[in-house]
Amino acid sequence: MATYETIKQKLETNKQEQLLHFYEQLNEEEQRDLLNQIEQIDFDQLETANQKDEENARITALPSHTTEMFSPEELTKMREHGCSLIADGKVAIVLLAGGQGTRLGHDGPKGTVNMDGSPETSLFALQAKRIQALQHEMNTTLPWYIMTSPINDDATKAFFHDNQYFGLNRDQVTFFQQEVSPALTPDGKVMLADKATVFQAPNGNGGVFVSMQKAGILAKLQSTNIKWIFFNNIDNALVQVADPLFIGYADQQGADISSKSVKKAEPGEKVGVLGQRNGKPSVIEYSELTEEQRQQPELQDANIGIHLFKVDFLEQTANRVLPYHFAHKKIATIDEQGVAVHPAEPNGYKLEKFYFDVFPYASKMSIFQVDRANEFLPVKNKTGKDSLEEAKERFN
């Protein structure tokens, strides 16, 4: 562990001396803990926050395929090929489930939100049952890796334990935690949660690759000859986990990454789209598109957070330093006198990484556009559009 003098020098170099403002008021254990927290901060990486390509980036389409582009025989062959890859143990599943259900009026991990008051209709259970059905059809076992966060890891594990893993084998489910990052004031100072604690929050879904590597998951997947990782978010109530047709399509296309999309509900829908930025695969945010680009029929593939990654590609790119992005939030902190502050308005910036910042490193990416009504029902709000209310109506 670094000494006080080493940490002090580090902070002076990076103009972050405020982190030791209350150091002398702490007991020895608190002092050691604070120094350890500060030692873990990569101040150089904080400099990447919200770095973007040039404003005049060239935005172009990335061609996508729909089922209508294939004959019934071709679709059957693709699905059969996907089934064979699953049966041969070439596919694993990674679920991003680090969030809480707060916006849905739910106290607990988002994956524990349910459709009718029963754990058996929770978002976790819906995905577990789809995995079960595939395993029964193909007489195999699919490894399921679930990324939690420090704020919901214990509760998620307890939920699975209490519900007997929803019929899955305990050994096929592996939990791993995403990492955390500090928050910054508007003038770039790292914030304290209290006198002895640096404020830390989950670092966004882009931390998944490094977390998988540190947990030994990527190495394990390579050693067990896994070729494809099916990658999805917890909040899509209709996700077709490890969809054999999609897997067969991806393997046929031979790209590093294959993504599912849905056609935008209307050109002005505020969603990120799959396309190319300066000739490289990307998710282009709604705010990055001009009004003319939003209307283009070629830029209508909405990103729905369902992807297939080649394990070899992730092994090669896991050490890439992805940029941080600012998220303006209300952050509980302390003032210069050490008094707790619970702001009514956003007062700082959480730093998040996005998994799609790895897309530009792919040599090739393919897109499979699917039917929104059957495959995409995001549970992001309590009521209204993309809500738990909608999902309950669909399932009840």
Of the candidate ranges 39-53, 124-138, 200-214, 277-291, the one whose mean pLDDT is the lowest: 39-53
Q: pLDDT higher for 287 or 248?
A: 248
The secondary structure of 215-236 as a DSSP string is TTHHHHHHHTT--EEEEEETTB
Burial 122-148 (b: 16+ CB within 10 A, else e): bbbbbbbbbbeebbeebeeebbbbbbb
3-state secondary structure of 251: helix
Over residues 263-302, the pLDDT tens digits come to 999 988 889 999 999 999 999 988 888 899 999 988 999 9
Of the candidate ranges 18-22, 44-48, 190-194, 217-221, the one whose mean pLDDT is the lowest: 44-48
**pLDDT confidence of residue 94:** 98
What mean pLDDT comes out for the span 144-172?
Answer: 97
Q: Phi, psi (5° rounding) for residue 135?
A: -60, -40
What 8-state DSSP symbol labels residue 168?
S
Question: Measured on CA atoms in the order 236, 237, 238, 243, is the torsion positive or negative?
Answer: positive
- Take residue 190 and report the two structure tokens written for it: 């790292």
Count of all residues that appear for the chain in the document: 396
pTM: 0.93
- Take residue 328 and report the two structure tokens written for it: 């303006």
**pLDDT confidence of residue 46:** 83
**pLDDT confidence of residue 318:** 87
Superfamily for 62-268+303-395?
Answer: Spore Coat Polysaccharide Biosynthesis Protein SpsA; Chain A (3.90.550.10)
Contact present, 210 and 217 (Cβ < 8 Å)? no
Distance CA 387, CA 396 (A): 14
Over residues 58-98, the pLDDT tens digits come to 999 999 999 999 999 999 999 999 999 999 999 999 999 99
Domain coordinates of the chain in residue numbers?
1-40, 62-268+303-395
**pLDDT confidence of residue 50:** 53
Contact present, 288 and 395 (Cβ < 8 Å)? no
Distance CA 205, CA 4 (A): 33
